[in-house]
Structure 1
Amino acid sequence: MEPIEIRSDIRTKFFPASPAKLFTAMRDPNCIAKWWGPDGFTNTIHAYEFVPGGSWRLTMHGPDGTDYPTENRFVRLVQDQLFEIEHLNGHHFVLTIELLPHGEGTKVMWRQTFDTAEHYRQLADFVAAANEQNLSRLAAELALGKSAA
């Protein structure tokens, strides 16, 4: 298998919030529905079984009105430390989000890993922009104070 570094989009972002607050924003389906996805997207959550092996099914609604049915499986969940899902339909990938205490906040390590480097290369520009937007939407949601731990 090819090295993970050449198959992955990797982002880091500092949040002036505790790992617990960030984990809450990932654990709560009502909260995640508000910030998940690129700019302009909204979400309808159909299932959110927040346990390893649990199902996360949602429909992402694009700003142009297109619906994107999405199916994920929770792979690893470590309270206040790690959120990992496997995206099962469409483009297959694993998304790993690590929450690392850093000073007065948290450093988020976001890694979206595809099966092959070629698959990643085909989507790299879109994925990079979408992941940055996703992290910005999370920051905006946390700033609203609605995800307090």
Structure 2
Amino acid sequence: MTTSSGAESDHTSADREIVISRAIGAPRELVFEAFTQVRHLARWWGPEGFTTTTRSFEFRVGGAWDFVMHGPDGTDYQEWITWREIVPPERIALLHGESRDDPNAFESVLAFESAGDDTRIVMRTVFPTKELRDEAVEKYRAIEGGEQTLNNLAAYVAELTRNDTGRSETTPKEAES
């Protein structure tokens, strides 16, 4: 689901943003952990059919995640995330591009909101220009990809909660293959 929340939205960026949210049936601390530890990210990150190879990962403000997303068609996508703000277990702000100095990198803020025993994750992404946002939506299917990524996160976290000790050898993404 994409939304533009008028109350929080900066009107100067409304035409450059994508907002995706999803309820996840797990406590906020677990959802936050699954998003912030490379051992978890490698098992669910990306849209359906994608896999991820991490080159380096340092989860701290100013740290980076250097990784490659492998598309189902065999295409490799070089990716780089720099962590800008980390407020456990509430919020993560990041800069995401193809490399450290990518002039077309976009900013994302992820909010992890408690909803009883569940968590609502809201991912707000702002692109440098409307054209880059439109290209991400049309060429790279960013809205569908973001929704699929959050669906993969929800399925992975559900698997973790079913297998308290993490005994499962099959991730939700692998089970679909």
Paired amino acid for 2:149: N
1:3 aligned to 2:18? no
Return the offset for 1:78: 0.8
Conservation of the 8 A alpha-carbon contact between 1:83 and 1:98: yes
State which drifts further: 24-33 or 87-96: 87-96
1:29 to 2:46 alignment: no
Q: Distance in 2 between the 1:103 and 1:4 partners?
A: 32
Task: Give structure 2 stretches of 5+ with no counterpart.
Answer: 1-9, 165-177
Which residue does the alignment assign to 1:144?
Answer: 159
1:110 corresponds, among 110, 123, 135, to 123
- Structure possessing the higher relative contact order (Cα contacts under 8 Å, 6 or more residues apart): 1
* SS of equivalent residue, structure 2 residue 160: coil
**Gap runs ≥5 in structure 1:** none
Query: Could you say which structure has the higher strand fraction?
Result: 1
- Who wins on radius of gyration, i.e. which is larger? 2
Report the alpha carbon displacement of residue 26 of structure 1 after superposing the two structures with TM: 1.1
Normalization by structure 1: what TM-score? 0.91
Separation (CA, whole Å) in 2 of partners of 1:121 and 1:45: 28
Deviation at 1:2, TM superposition (A): 6.8
Give the alignment of 1:112-127 within 5 angstroms: 112-125=125-138, 126-127=141-142
Question: Does the CA-based 8 Å contact 2:25-2:158 persist in structure 1?
Answer: no
- Who is 1:54 aligned against? 63
Question: RMSD between aligned alpha carbons?
Answer: 2.1
1:68 aligns with 77
